Amino acid sequence: MFDNLSDKLDKALHVLKGHGQITEINVAETLKEVRRALLDADVNFKTAKEFTNRVKEKALGQNVLTTLQPGQLMVKIVKDELTSLMGGDAAGIDLSGNPSVILMSGLQGSGKTTFSGKLAGFLKNKKTKKPLLVACDVYRPAAIDQLHVVGEQLEVDVYSDRENNNPVAIAKAAIAHAKTNGHNVVIVDTAGRLAVDEQMMTEIANIHKAIKPNETLFVVDSMTGQDAVNTAKAFNDVLNFDGVILTKLDGDTRGGAALSIKSVVNKPIKFIGTGEKMDAMDVFYPSRMADRILGMGDVVSLVERAQEQFDEEEARKLQKKIAKNQFGFDDFLNQIQQIKKMGSMKDLIGMIPGAGKALKDVDVDDDAFKGIEAIIFSMTPEERTTPSVLNASRKKRIAKGSGTSIQEVNQLLKQFTQMSKMMKMMQGGGGRKMMQMMNS
Ligand code: GDP
């Protein structure tokens, strides 16, 4: 996410971070570089200029030149300004109505249907919400099919009417359907076109007028850069939407849209899409995004993801096993599965402070665990629970069965032994013992 921008900002600020003596000249030079980095990321010219002016004002106001750690203060000022540029606090969505109606708008291909599904899944997980997805694209039968596929996958009901070519009527009938069927959130997916045109704008404006949504969301592909901002303006003029959904942030986006949209249309980014899978979305937190852009990671999101997957009952069972020295390869496999549920490896690594940058060119794919899993799958139940039985001939068999080498099997065994030891020590409150082990 925003690798290029992160790199350039890092380089720009590096000069100040390392300098013993900071002068007004190198502050000005740094800000010039910061502005260049923003422009390269496709940030709107006016936004970039105002941004650096504000940073400069703050820097001079706080007397950066006379503080003990001017580099750090500059980074903080840039971080705060990036956060406020992207909207300051996280903005929620209005779910007050019964049903609360959410209207999705945006160009074709922006990710509307995918995000409608993601949002439905997200709300469904909140237990108190029973969403209904509504297909209002009367031009492309495939779009209706797509929504039904998404609905089936998420086990969320979908309302469509292939006989009707009036989207306003469909949307209204869907809301009535929701009321009689106990759906308390209605997500209306609408038709998009490849570019902004009058007919599409009139149609969505009519739907908007007729159903008076609690939330009108504008979905935009973050890879489209400056265009994203122009499209946002056009839709906002007609719909006065409530928030923006920025999709495809997992791709090689330069980040311009994320940084310019708020200042151009004055509407917050509410969610981001980070992949094609139905759970690849996040609430947008400006300050966490600023941290990520500045290579500071996003520990808060990482911990939250871990907590979402954390199962107290499982954890207790695991603790007992560790205490009794019964931690085996099946448990190891279980742990891997839990980690995998937290998201893609690249995404997770990006949240670790410093790691994103250090590992930026390392190709970590989601198959990282495949070899390990294959090895474990090739073990017999006995070998999984009692790894000590693994002699040379068994290892040879496992390597062959899993398509790996004996070295790889040995390496996994070594890692497993170390991990078991470490867990045992942590269990016994042996923080000190562990320190000794690490130092030895
Ligand atoms: P719509 O025409 O606006 O409804 O767009 P779709 O929901 O059909 O999405 C268009 C394409 O973008 C599909 O291939 C989606 O799988 C893909 N897509 C949507 N959101 C994301 C995202 O956050 N990341 C990635 N990588 N692909 C996405």
pLDDT in tens, 321-376: 777 777 888 888 887 777 777 777 667 766 666 665 565 565 666 666 788 888 99
CA of 173 to the centre of ligand 1 (A): 27
42 labeled part of a ligand binding site: no
Pocket lined around ligand 1, Cβ cut-off 6 Å: 106, 108-114, 192, 247-248, 250-251, 273-276, 280
318 labeled part of a ligand binding site: no
Phi, psi values for residue 118, rounded to 5°: -60, -45
CA of 434 to the centre of ligand 1 (A): 47
Residues of the chain with pLDDT under 50: 429-435, 437-440
Whole-angstrom distance, CA of residue 181 vs CA of residue 172:
14
Q: What pLDDT shows up at residue 365?
A: 63
Whole-angstrom distance, CA of residue 2 vs CA of residue 72:
21
127 labeled part of a ligand binding site: no
126 labeled part of a ligand binding site: no
Residue 425: how many other CB atoms lie within 10 Å:
18
Residue 190: how many other CB atoms lie within 10 Å:
26
Could you identify the atom of ligand 1 that is nearest to the CA of residue 106?
A: 3
Q: In terms of DSSP bridges, do strands 131-136 and 243-247 run parallel, antiparallel, or are they unpaired?
A: unpaired
Q: What is the pLDDT of residues 209-242, one digit of tens each?
A: 999 999 999 999 988 878 888 899 999 999 999 9
For ligand 1, atom 20, the nearest C-alpha belongs to 111
Whole-angstrom distance, CA of residue 126 vs CA of residue 120:
10
Q: In terms of DSSP bridges, do strands 185-190 and 131-136 run parallel, antiparallel, or are they unpaired?
A: parallel
Q: What is the ipTM of this complex?
A: 0.99
CA of 270 to the centre of ligand 1 (A): 17
Q: What pLDDT shows up at residue 426?
A: 65
Q: Give the CB-side neighbour count of residue 340, counting CA atoms within 13 A.
A: 13
Q: How far is CA 333 from CA 328, 389, 415, in A?
A: 9, 18, 13
Domains of the chain: 3-85 (1.20.120.140), 100-296 (3.40.50.300), 322-439 (1.10.260.30)
Could you identify the atom of ligand 1 that is nearest to the CA of residue 146?
A: 8
Q: Reduced to 3 states, what is the DSSP secondary structure of residue 188?
A: strand
Q: What pLDDT shows up at residue 114?
A: 96
179 labeled part of a ligand binding site: no
Whole-angstrom distance, CA of residue 107 vs CA of residue 114:
13
Could you identify the atom of ligand 1 that is nearest to the CA of residue 137?
A: 4
Please spell the DSSP secondary structure of 404-426, one letter per residue: --HHHHHHHHHHHHHHHHHHHHH
CA of 152 to the centre of ligand 1 (A): 17
Beta-ladder partners of 104: 189, 217
335 labeled part of a ligand binding site: no
CA of 256 to the centre of ligand 1 (A): 19
pTM over 0.95: no
Q: What pLDDT shows up at residue 66?
A: 64
Q: Put the strands of the sheet holding 131-136 in their side by side order.
A: 157-159, 131-136, 185-190, 100-106, 215-221, 243-247, 269-273, 281-283
From the centroid of its chain, how far is CA 376?
Answer: 30
Q: What pLDDT shows up at residue 293?
A: 82
Q: What pLDDT shows up at residue 394?
A: 94
Q: What pLDDT shows up at residue 155?
A: 95
CA of 387 to the centre of ligand 1 (A): 45
